[in-house]
Amino acid sequence: MAQTATTTGGRARTRGRAARYSAFDIVRRGVTHSEWPRSFNEHELRTTYDVVIVGAGVHGLACAYYLAVNHGITNVAVLEKSYMGGGGSGRNTAIIRSNYLTPEGVRFYDRSVKLYEKLSVDLNYNVMFSQRGHLTLAHNDASLRTMNWRAEVNKLQGIDSSVIDAKEVGRIVPYLDVSADTRYPILGALYHPPGGIIRHDAVNWGYARAATHLGVEIHQQTEVLGIETAGGKVTGVRTSRGNISTSMVINCTAGWASTISDMVDVKMPLVTHPLQAAVTEPVKVFLSAVIVSGSLHVYVSQTDRGELVFGASVDPYPSYSMRGSLEFTEGLAAHILELIPSISSLKLLRQWAGLCDMTPDYSPIMGVTPVEGFLVDVGWGTYGFKAGPVAGEQMAQLIATGRTPDLIAAFDLARFADGRLVGEKGAASVGH
């Protein structure tokens, strides 16, 4: 693919301008006591940009990076009303996988995993991608049937994914109770060896650092107040720090995606739900794989620091609240102890919530809208972080070429009017 070549070329540019990260450089700076330079350049907000990206999460930052590195488009501003990576990109549970249900979904997320695999090298920033394996447990024959379905679709797309039995599950994760006499016996699991976890902050910062050194400007604490149009085309953006003229605006927000789209009267079939997560205090590492249980509405992984990171399905009501609830932690703990009964003395340290824009078919909305120059990369539900690199790469290609790439064609906004939904509910609802 042509992009690969340009990516390599771009990397050379990155390396030329940003401080190089390596063990050697760490030692060199340690010995000479020389400080690391700024990773993110600061800029005054200018009055005109070729492209304005709304939202400095992983999607916006990746889009900016690929615009610069793959297409040489660098007159780009990324606007962020708070701090970069502070929304869903810093609140997710950082699970990466590609074992989706629809062929469209599988192809798309597979590209994302591939990009993640080489992201540390591409960005010269260790994003700590740990491909430790991902297990989706089946506790009844209905979920086992869905796991089989996913495995079959995955295999035909060349994804490493298969259904394994309870004994094999117990071998991979000895702490799981795989005995048959539990309330929700583990009948088997969808096993996806390339799945794993990542340091989400590192991904955000790595993209931001690489993009800014290619000339992109990231403006934090800069809120978009309005988007100007004339004759059905984007002409500018009003922000809390001044006005910008531009003909291209990309909505890369979550939680506020419909608010931003409303600014140009583009209606989005989105409902925003909180998604809660929690983390325990650390213990020595005992859990190798990522564990997901759809029936028990819970997923868990253990970081290299030893903390258990928990998540669940979205809260059952729409809300913009980013506060955790007590009920969530109760249900979470009960379900975790069903799976791993020995850890009742581990302590929950912190809980939080993020906002998820849910679409009717649990697939995102990407591409053009009826307003010329207003593109969207939204509706990421509970699966946005996984897709950061591929979404950025494909949106950048769309911006640069004006043509919607095949990989994202199925996710267009028009599908809701045309009745072409891409049903990922079965793999995405608690599918972390």
Partner 1 sequence: MSPSEHWRIERQPGEVIDRSQPINFTWNGSPVTGYSGDTIVSALMASGVRVMSRSFKYHRPRGVVTATYFDPNCSFQVGDEPNVRAAHRQVREGDVVRAQNAWPSLSFDVRAANQLVGRFLGPGFYYKTFIRPQTLWPLYQKVLSRFSPGGEPPPIGTPHEIFDKRFAHPDVLVAGGGPAGMAAALGAARSGASVMLVEEEYELGGHLRYGGVESLAALASLRAEVASFDNIEVLTDSVVLGRYDDNWVGIVQRSGMWAKERLIKARVGTLVVAAGLIERPYVFEGNDLPGVMLATAALRLTGLHAVKPGTTAVVFTANSTGDEAVARLRSAGVQIARVLDARKGDDVVRALGRGKVTGVEAGDGSTTEADLLVTATGWTAPTSLLNMAGDRPIWNPQAARFTPSELIDIRVMATGGIVGDGSTAELVAHGRAVGSEAAARARGEVPQSVAALTPYPHPALFQSTTVGFVDFSEDVKSKDIVSAAREGYDSSELAKRFTTSGMGPAQGKLEMVNTMAVLAEATDRDFESTGTTVWRPPYAPISLGALAGRAFEPERISPIQSWHNEHGAKNMVAGQWIRPEHYGNPAAEAANVRSRVGIIDLSPLGKLDLRGPDVVKLLNLVYTNSWDNLAIGSVRYGVMCAEDGVVMDDGVTGRLGADHYLMTTTSSGAGNVWDWLEMWLQTVHREWQVTITPVTTALVSINIAGPHSRELLSRVTDIDLDPASFGYLKVRTGSVAGIDDCIVWRIGFTGELSFEIHVPASYGLHVWQALLEAGKDLGVAAFGVEAQRILRLEKGHLIVGQDTDGLTLAYQAGLGGLVKLGKDDFSGKPELVLQEARAGDHSHLVAIETVDPMLVPPEASQIVVNGNDIVGRVTSSRMSPTLHRSVCLAHVPADLAAPGSRLTIVLTNGDRAEAVVRENLAFVDPEGVRLRG
Find residue 299's DSSP bridge partners: 292, 311
Termini Cα distance of the chain = 29
Pick between residue 263 and residue 427 the one whose CB is nearest to partner 1. 427
Which residues from 22-81 bind partner 1, rule CB under 8 A?
Answer: 22-23, 25-27, 30-31, 33, 35-42
Examine residue 148 and tell whether it contacts partner 1 (CB under 8 A): yes
Q: Around Cβ 23, how many Cβ atoms within 10 Å?
A: 7
Q: Please answer whether residues 171 and 190 qualify as being in contact, where contact means their C-beta atoms are separated by less than 8 angstroms.
A: no
Window contacting partner 1 (CB under 8 A); options: 4-12, 51-59, 348-356, 401-409: 348-356
Q: Per-residue string for binding with partner 1, 301-330, x by CB under 8 A?
A: ---xxx--------------x-xxxx--xx
d(CA 46, CA 60): 19
Pick between residue 47 and residue 140 the one whose CB is nearest to partner 1. 140
Examine residue 199 and tell whether it contacts partner 1 (CB under 8 A): yes
Which residues from 166-195 bind partner 1, rule CB under 8 A?
Answer: 174-175, 183-185
Rg, the chain, Cα only: 22
Residue 85 Cβ vs partner 1, minimum distance, rounded to whole Å: 8
Window contacting partner 1 (CB under 8 A); options: 52-60, 205-213, 222-230, 395-403: 205-213
Pick between residue 28 and residue 403 the one whose CB is nearest to partner 1. 28
Which residues from 215-274 bind partner 1, rule CB under 8 A?
Answer: 220
Residue 57 Cβ vs partner 1, minimum distance, rounded to whole Å: 14
Cα-to-chain-centroid distance, residue 61: 12
Q: Using CB under 8 A, pick the residue from 164, 172, 337, 368 that binds partner 1.
A: 337
- Residue 96 CB partners (closer than 8 Å, separation 6+): 112, 113, 116, 129, 131, 195, 196, 197, 198, 385, 386
Q: Around Cβ 375, how many Cβ atoms within 10 Å?
A: 25
Examine residue 107 and tell whether it contacts partner 1 (CB under 8 A): no
Examine residue 350 and tell whether it contacts partner 1 (CB under 8 A): yes
Tokens of residue 421, six digits: 């939904």
Examine residue 9 and tell whether it contacts partner 1 (CB under 8 A): no
Examine residue 293 and tell whether it contacts partner 1 (CB under 8 A): no
Cα-to-chain-centroid distance, residue 209: 18
Which of the 8 DSSP states describes residue 18? Answer: S
Residue 244 Cβ vs partner 1, minimum distance, rounded to whole Å: 22
Window contacting partner 1 (CB under 8 A); options: 21-29, 60-68, 369-377, 388-396: 21-29
Cα atoms in the 13 Å half-sphere on the side-chain side of 3:
21
